[in-house]
Structure 1
Amino acid sequence: MDASLLSIQPAASEPIYRQIVEQLRRLIAGGQLTPGESLPSVRDVAGFHAINPMTVSRAYGIAESEGLLERQRGKGMVVSTTRQATQTESHRLALLEPQLQALARHANELELPAERILRRLTKLLGEER
Protein backbone atom coordinates (compact mmCIF):
# COMPACT_ATOMS: atom_id res chain seq x y z
CA MET A 1 0.00 0.00 0.00
CA ASP A 2 1.15 3.48 -0.81
CA ALA A 3 0.50 6.42 1.55
CA SER A 4 -1.30 8.19 -1.31
CA LEU A 5 -4.08 5.57 -1.20
CA LEU A 6 -5.41 7.34 1.90
CA SER A 7 -7.38 10.52 1.37
CA ILE A 8 -7.02 12.84 4.35
CA GLN A 9 -9.16 15.95 4.64
CA PRO A 10 -7.79 18.10 7.49
CA ALA A 11 -10.70 20.58 7.29
CA ALA A 12 -13.35 17.86 7.70
CA SER A 13 -15.32 17.68 10.94
CA GLU A 14 -14.31 14.04 11.42
CA PRO A 15 -10.94 13.71 13.22
CA ILE A 16 -8.06 12.63 11.01
CA TYR A 17 -7.40 9.43 12.94
CA ARG A 18 -11.03 8.38 12.38
CA GLN A 19 -10.75 9.19 8.67
CA ILE A 20 -7.77 6.84 8.47
CA VAL A 21 -9.46 4.02 10.41
CA GLU A 22 -12.65 4.28 8.34
CA GLN A 23 -10.70 4.21 5.09
CA LEU A 24 -8.71 1.20 6.24
CA ARG A 25 -11.98 -0.59 7.11
CA ARG A 26 -13.39 0.11 3.65
CA LEU A 27 -10.18 -0.75 1.78
CA ILE A 28 -9.88 -4.06 3.63
CA ALA A 29 -13.59 -4.91 3.34
CA GLY A 30 -13.51 -4.12 -0.38
CA GLY A 31 -10.45 -6.26 -0.97
CA GLN A 32 -8.21 -3.40 -2.07
CA LEU A 33 -5.92 -4.24 0.85
CA THR A 34 -5.27 -7.95 1.11
CA PRO A 35 -4.29 -10.06 4.13
CA GLY A 36 -0.58 -9.82 4.83
CA GLU A 37 -0.15 -6.65 2.78
CA SER A 38 2.22 -4.16 4.38
CA LEU A 39 1.04 -0.68 5.27
CA PRO A 40 3.27 2.36 4.89
CA SER A 41 5.08 3.38 8.05
CA VAL A 42 3.61 5.96 10.40
CA ARG A 43 6.38 8.32 9.33
CA ASP A 44 5.63 7.83 5.61
CA VAL A 45 1.88 8.50 6.00
CA ALA A 46 2.46 11.48 8.28
CA GLY A 47 5.05 12.97 5.93
CA PHE A 48 3.01 12.43 2.78
CA HIS A 49 -0.13 14.02 4.27
CA ALA A 50 1.68 16.58 6.45
CA ILE A 51 -0.03 15.39 9.63
CA ASN A 52 1.18 14.54 13.12
CA PRO A 53 2.75 11.06 13.33
CA MET A 54 0.89 10.46 16.62
CA THR A 55 -2.39 10.79 14.69
CA VAL A 56 -1.37 8.03 12.29
CA SER A 57 -0.07 5.91 15.16
CA ARG A 58 -3.39 6.29 16.98
CA ALA A 59 -5.32 5.23 13.86
CA TYR A 60 -3.09 2.20 13.33
CA GLY A 61 -3.48 1.29 17.00
CA ILE A 62 -7.28 1.42 16.79
CA ALA A 63 -7.27 -0.64 13.59
CA GLU A 64 -4.98 -3.16 15.29
CA SER A 65 -7.26 -3.39 18.35
CA GLU A 66 -10.20 -4.06 16.01
CA GLY A 67 -8.30 -6.90 14.38
CA LEU A 68 -7.92 -5.13 11.04
CA LEU A 69 -4.14 -4.86 11.30
CA GLU A 70 -1.38 -6.76 13.03
CA ARG A 71 2.25 -5.95 13.83
CA GLN A 72 4.87 -8.15 12.27
CA ARG A 73 8.44 -7.94 13.39
CA GLY A 74 10.59 -6.45 10.67
CA LYS A 75 7.61 -5.58 8.45
CA GLY A 76 5.67 -3.14 10.60
CA MET A 77 1.89 -3.07 10.28
CA VAL A 78 0.21 -5.47 7.87
CA VAL A 79 -3.39 -6.28 7.06
CA SER A 80 -4.53 -9.01 9.41
CA THR A 81 -4.24 -12.48 8.00
CA THR A 82 -6.92 -13.81 10.34
CA ARG A 83 -9.79 -11.69 8.98
CA GLN A 84 -11.90 -12.49 5.97
CA ALA A 85 -10.30 -10.76 2.98
CA THR A 86 -13.34 -9.46 1.13
CA GLN A 87 -16.60 -8.92 2.94
CA THR A 88 -20.05 -9.42 1.50
CA GLU A 89 -21.61 -6.65 -0.51
CA SER A 90 -24.19 -6.03 2.21
CA HIS A 91 -21.43 -5.62 4.82
CA ARG A 92 -19.52 -3.22 2.57
CA LEU A 93 -22.74 -1.27 1.95
CA ALA A 94 -23.32 -1.09 5.71
CA LEU A 95 -19.97 0.70 6.01
CA LEU A 96 -21.40 3.46 3.79
CA GLU A 97 -24.69 3.78 5.66
CA PRO A 98 -23.69 6.70 7.93
CA GLN A 99 -22.45 8.74 4.97
CA LEU A 100 -25.56 7.91 2.93
CA GLN A 101 -27.79 9.01 5.80
CA ALA A 102 -25.84 12.26 6.16
CA LEU A 103 -26.05 12.86 2.40
CA ALA A 104 -29.81 12.32 2.43
CA ARG A 105 -30.22 14.66 5.41
CA HIS A 106 -28.10 17.38 3.77
CA ALA A 107 -29.97 17.06 0.47
CA ASN A 108 -33.31 17.37 2.27
CA GLU A 109 -32.10 20.40 4.24
CA LEU A 110 -31.00 22.03 0.99
CA GLU A 111 -34.29 21.00 -0.66
CA LEU A 112 -32.47 19.40 -3.57
CA PRO A 113 -34.38 16.91 -5.73
CA ALA A 114 -33.32 13.27 -5.39
CA GLU A 115 -32.93 12.91 -9.18
CA ARG A 116 -30.27 15.60 -9.27
CA ILE A 117 -28.40 14.11 -6.34
CA LEU A 118 -28.50 10.64 -7.94
CA ARG A 119 -27.25 11.97 -11.29
CA ARG A 120 -24.38 13.77 -9.60
CA LEU A 121 -23.52 10.74 -7.45
CA THR A 122 -23.60 8.47 -10.49
CA LYS A 123 -21.24 10.84 -12.30
CA LEU A 124 -18.86 10.95 -9.34
CA LEU A 125 -18.86 7.15 -9.02
CA GLY A 126 -18.05 6.86 -12.72
CA GLU A 127 -15.15 9.29 -12.39
CA GLU A 128 -13.62 7.34 -9.51
CA ARG A 129 -13.31 4.09 -11.48
Structure 2
Amino acid sequence: MLKVLPYFCRHTRGNALIEFAFAAPVFILIVFGVIDFGISMWEKSYLNYALSNTARYAFIHPDASENDLTNYAKTQIRGITKTISFNVVIVPKTYVDLTGTLQYKFFGLPFSPMNIVITIRQPLPPS
Protein backbone atom coordinates (compact mmCIF):
# COMPACT_ATOMS: atom_id res chain seq x y z
CA MET A 1 0.00 0.00 0.00
CA LEU A 2 2.77 2.45 0.89
CA LYS A 3 4.61 1.66 -2.37
CA VAL A 4 1.59 2.79 -4.43
CA LEU A 5 1.13 6.11 -2.58
CA PRO A 6 4.07 7.94 -4.23
CA TYR A 7 2.70 6.98 -7.65
CA PHE A 8 -0.62 8.72 -6.92
CA CYS A 9 1.11 11.76 -5.45
CA ARG A 10 3.19 12.32 -8.61
CA HIS A 11 0.44 11.83 -11.16
CA THR A 12 -2.28 14.48 -11.26
CA ARG A 13 -4.32 13.29 -14.22
CA GLY A 14 -8.02 13.48 -13.44
CA ASN A 15 -7.79 16.20 -10.77
CA ALA A 16 -9.95 18.57 -12.81
CA LEU A 17 -12.62 15.91 -13.18
CA ILE A 18 -12.76 15.31 -9.43
CA GLU A 19 -12.89 19.05 -8.69
CA PHE A 20 -15.65 19.46 -11.27
CA ALA A 21 -17.60 16.60 -9.70
CA PHE A 22 -17.56 18.46 -6.38
CA ALA A 23 -18.24 21.96 -7.73
CA ALA A 24 -20.79 21.32 -10.51
CA PRO A 25 -23.75 20.18 -8.37
CA VAL A 26 -23.39 23.20 -6.10
CA PHE A 27 -23.16 25.55 -9.07
CA ILE A 28 -26.14 23.96 -10.82
CA LEU A 29 -28.20 24.14 -7.60
CA ILE A 30 -27.42 27.84 -7.24
CA VAL A 31 -28.26 28.62 -10.88
CA PHE A 32 -31.57 26.75 -10.83
CA GLY A 33 -32.39 28.22 -7.41
CA VAL A 34 -31.97 31.75 -8.76
CA ILE A 35 -34.12 30.91 -11.81
CA ASP A 36 -36.83 29.33 -9.66
CA PHE A 37 -36.83 32.26 -7.23
CA GLY A 38 -37.10 34.66 -10.18
CA ILE A 39 -40.13 32.77 -11.50
CA SER A 40 -41.78 32.96 -8.08
CA MET A 41 -41.22 36.73 -7.93
CA TRP A 42 -42.62 37.11 -11.46
CA GLU A 43 -45.77 35.24 -10.40
CA LYS A 44 -46.04 37.45 -7.30
CA SER A 45 -45.80 40.51 -9.52
CA TYR A 46 -48.47 39.09 -11.83
CA LEU A 47 -50.77 38.40 -8.87
CA ASN A 48 -50.26 41.98 -7.70
CA TYR A 49 -51.11 43.21 -11.20
CA ALA A 50 -54.35 41.19 -11.23
CA LEU A 51 -55.39 42.50 -7.82
CA SER A 52 -54.56 46.10 -8.80
CA ASN A 53 -56.73 45.82 -11.91
CA THR A 54 -59.52 44.30 -9.85
CA ALA A 55 -59.25 47.19 -7.37
CA ARG A 56 -59.61 49.65 -10.25
CA TYR A 57 -62.60 47.68 -11.51
CA ALA A 58 -64.16 47.86 -8.03
CA PHE A 59 -63.66 51.63 -7.96
CA ILE A 60 -65.24 52.10 -11.39
CA HIS A 61 -68.09 49.65 -10.63
CA PRO A 62 -68.90 50.25 -6.94
CA ASP A 63 -72.11 48.20 -7.24
CA ALA A 64 -70.20 45.02 -8.29
CA SER A 65 -70.74 41.98 -6.08
CA GLU A 66 -68.05 39.87 -4.45
CA ASN A 67 -68.63 37.18 -7.07
CA ASP A 68 -68.21 39.71 -9.90
CA LEU A 69 -64.91 40.93 -8.47
CA THR A 70 -63.64 37.38 -7.91
CA ASN A 71 -64.47 36.43 -11.49
CA TYR A 72 -62.84 39.60 -12.79
CA ALA A 73 -59.67 38.83 -10.82
CA LYS A 74 -59.59 35.33 -12.29
CA THR A 75 -59.80 36.75 -15.80
CA GLN A 76 -56.74 38.90 -15.08
CA ILE A 77 -54.56 35.86 -14.32
CA ARG A 78 -53.10 34.55 -17.56
CA GLY A 79 -50.21 32.18 -17.79
CA ILE A 80 -50.08 31.16 -14.14
CA THR A 81 -51.21 27.59 -13.68
CA LYS A 82 -50.53 27.39 -9.96
CA THR A 83 -53.14 27.21 -7.21
CA ILE A 84 -54.57 30.72 -6.84
CA SER A 85 -57.43 31.77 -4.61
CA PHE A 86 -59.12 35.14 -4.23
CA ASN A 87 -61.04 36.51 -1.28
CA VAL A 88 -63.18 39.62 -1.66
CA VAL A 89 -64.78 41.49 1.23
CA ILE A 90 -67.00 44.45 0.43
CA VAL A 91 -67.98 47.02 3.02
CA PRO A 92 -70.79 48.84 1.17
CA LYS A 93 -70.03 52.43 0.15
CA THR A 94 -66.74 52.33 2.11
CA TYR A 95 -64.04 50.02 0.76
CA VAL A 96 -63.23 46.66 -0.82
CA ASP A 97 -60.59 44.28 0.57
CA LEU A 98 -59.02 42.05 -2.07
CA THR A 99 -56.76 39.18 -1.06
CA GLY A 100 -54.96 36.90 -3.49
CA THR A 101 -53.10 33.78 -2.40
CA LEU A 102 -50.71 31.89 -4.64
CA GLN A 103 -49.09 28.62 -3.60
CA TYR A 104 -45.73 28.32 -5.34
CA LYS A 105 -44.04 24.92 -5.40
CA PHE A 106 -40.37 25.06 -6.24
CA PHE A 107 -39.42 23.15 -9.37
CA GLY A 108 -36.31 21.19 -8.48
CA LEU A 109 -35.41 22.38 -5.03
CA PRO A 110 -36.32 20.43 -1.92
CA PHE A 111 -38.22 23.28 -0.26
CA SER A 112 -41.75 23.22 1.01
CA PRO A 113 -44.33 25.21 -0.98
CA MET A 114 -44.29 28.97 -0.48
CA ASN A 115 -47.55 30.87 0.01
CA ILE A 116 -47.56 34.32 -1.53
CA VAL A 117 -50.34 36.52 -0.11
CA ILE A 118 -51.17 40.00 -1.37
CA THR A 119 -53.90 42.20 0.13
CA ILE A 120 -55.19 45.44 -1.35
CA ARG A 121 -57.76 47.78 0.22
CA GLN A 122 -59.53 49.95 -2.32
CA PRO A 123 -61.70 52.83 -1.06
CA LEU A 124 -64.96 53.16 -2.95
CA PRO A 125 -66.09 56.49 -4.38
CA PRO A 126 -68.57 58.46 -2.31
CA SER A 127 -72.15 58.17 -3.47
* TM value normalised by structure 2: 0.30
Point out the structure with max Rg over C-alpha. 2
* TM value normalised by structure 1: 0.29
Q: Which has the higher strand share?
A: 2
